[in-house]
Amino acid sequence: MFNRENEDWKNYLNDEDKKILAEILTSTRKYSCAYSKADDVKVAQLWTALIEIKKDLNEIKNVLGKVEAPFKAIVQIGEEEKRKTIEKIVSEIIRPSDEETQKATKALVESLMKF
């Protein structure tokens, strides 16, 4: 089934994964002077691939960090508006007049905020 002399393991990857692997290997070429001097070139090339992947991950984290604060602010504003709307609708329907009804209304609002 698998003839080591004639078959390359990469042939068993799907096309998308082959492209990804090619991109990773291409990105490691800039380290060829370093990994070519290693005792085990293949392992050293894998380490340089990890360096590139870690750089990509750090870049993604950096971008997400910049987006996170504004996104949280948007979510917070949305939650505040949601609470105001629920309170208004519930108050219009129930029209709490005494303290007990007001407590029940607040509990209902809190319950609805979970959705």
pLDDT tens-digit readout, 49-102: 999 999 999 999 999 999 999 999 999 999 999 999 998 998 888 887 888 888
Q: Kindly report whether the global pTM for this prediction surpasses the value 0.75.
A: no
Say how many residues make up the chain.
Answer: 115
Kindly report the CA angle at 59 between 41 and 30, in degrees rounded to 5?
Answer: 30
Tell me: the pLDDT tens digits for 36-50? 999 999 999 999 999
Q: How far apart are the first and last CA of the chain?
A: 55
CA distance 97 to 24: 68
What are the residue ranges spanned by the domains of the chain? 9-113
pLDDT at position 49 is 96
In the block, residue with structure tokens 């208004």:
88
Distances (CA, A) of 112 to 46, 61, 87, 109, 115: 52, 34, 10, 5, 6
